[in-house]
Homo-oligomer: A and B are copies of this chain.
């Protein structure tokens, strides 16, 4: 497996209320959300004919995990699904979601995107009461809380009580053994969760690109702290008592995670990236023969940069579309193979040229360093790099794997030191102001979580927190 140095969103979630092909459509929903997690995937279904919840989960990509037979066996009714990229070492089937548990002959399934910052405290409290845990997933903690409260009340109050206890980022879908689908977004709205409709059936998905594939109609993004309950009475919203006035939508969803054809909270991802590229050209112009991205993530900012600067846009690195996830160890002579196999520079295009590379972010810097070296070896004259977001100086506690501060190279080195480390002629980042202003969002300062850039964390967390429990 090619070591991935890029940050990874932990999950994508999907839910569909009572549809004759619920399992299959959930499969395709996950297919469209595959970029949000490639480690494991799962679908849970209540077929509406009894109280059973059937699940099928596995390690790997969506098409590797499910086959027609599996889906047909559980077809019909309501379904939720999940794709996962693990941020912990526990890359095991046990941690694949949806998480399913039984209580008093009733089953519940939960799929979760985000990270609870107080999961470890809640877990300890539950363990004091004798609860045992089989996974390291936040969803298990949530389900314990939900069920403890369910003993004393109805679904609605149990959910409200459970969400009152948990803190952090969570966009969740919950399936009950009655086929109800409940969508939950945390009070700060860190992670996206959109509501749509497919021929009259409500659908929830982390990103709108899932709606496009299944040809569902987009209705709206859920509000921060909104809980939608979908059942035979239709759809009903309740609110988290502490729902924030301003949302804290993760701006890195626009910069890197989300698919460019998705629209989050009214803003298209492609357009946002292009706007960041234009702003970057204004903030950090430089003379060169061509502008080129590290594809595919840098493509759109590069288009914006090229347009604003008037310097020609080129796709100077060619992607090998057949790179599998596991393969033969390269030979000694094949230096930097893992990086080269994915992108090969077009020698004739760049030889003797001054080039501007547009990259969307630098986390650890090792891949970028190797790529710059490869370009130099082919005879590039000058290599300028422009990053379409500010330097990543702070870890994320809300579901993105920026691991620790120690792994964030921008937290360790100044921009000049980093330029030198990467072997560049110049290096510039987009400013925080530029990023916010170019976003086109009103009062952007108040409506985004940008903690990874400035360290202002919207939800407090335990600084001694170690990531042991997450979604």
How many whole Å from A75's CB to the nearest CB in chain B? 10
Determine the main DSSP class of A at the interface with B. mixed
Assess the A134–B263 pair: CB atoms within 8 A.
no
- Rounded to whole Å, the gap between the CB of A128 and the closest CB of chain B is 7
Q: For chain A, residues 90 to 134, give those with C-beta under 8 angstroms from any C-beta of chain B.
A: 93, 100-104, 124, 127-134
A144 touches B132 (CB 8 A): yes
Query: Which of under 10, 10 to 19, 20 to 34, or 35 or more describes the interface residues of A?
Result: 35 or more
A132 and B102: CB pair below 8 A?
yes
Contact with B along A291-324 (1 / 0, CB 8 A): 0000010011001001100001111001111101
The reply to whether A128 and B151 form a contact with Cβ atoms under 8 Å apart is: yes
Flag A171-206 by CB within 8 Å of B: 1 or 0 each: 000000000000000000000000000110000000
Which residues A316-358 have CB closer than 8 A to chain B? 318-322, 324, 326-331, 333-335, 340-341, 344-349
Does A147 sit at the interface, judged by CB under 8 A?
yes
Contact B261 A346 (CB under 8 A): yes
In whole angstroms, what is the CA distance A381 to B37 when docked? 36
Q: Which residue of B has the minimal Cβ distance to A348?
A: B268
A191 to B298, CA, bound (A): 35
Q: Are B68 and A328 in contact (CB under 8 A)?
A: yes
Contact between A346 and B62, CB atoms less than 8 A apart: no
Write out the residue numbers on chain B whose beta carbons fall within 8 Å of the beta carbon of A128.
Answer: 151
When distances are taken between beta carbons in the complex, the residues of chain B under 8 Å from A306 are: 313
Q: Which residues of A contact B (CB under 8 A)?
A: 21, 24-25, 27-28, 31-32, 34-35, 38, 61-64, 66-68, 71, 93, 100-104, 124, 127-134, 136, 143-144, 147-148, 151, 198-199, 209, 212-215, 259-261, 263, 268, 270-271, 296, 299-300, 303, 306-307, 312-315, 318-322, 324, 326-331, 333-335, 340-341, 344-349
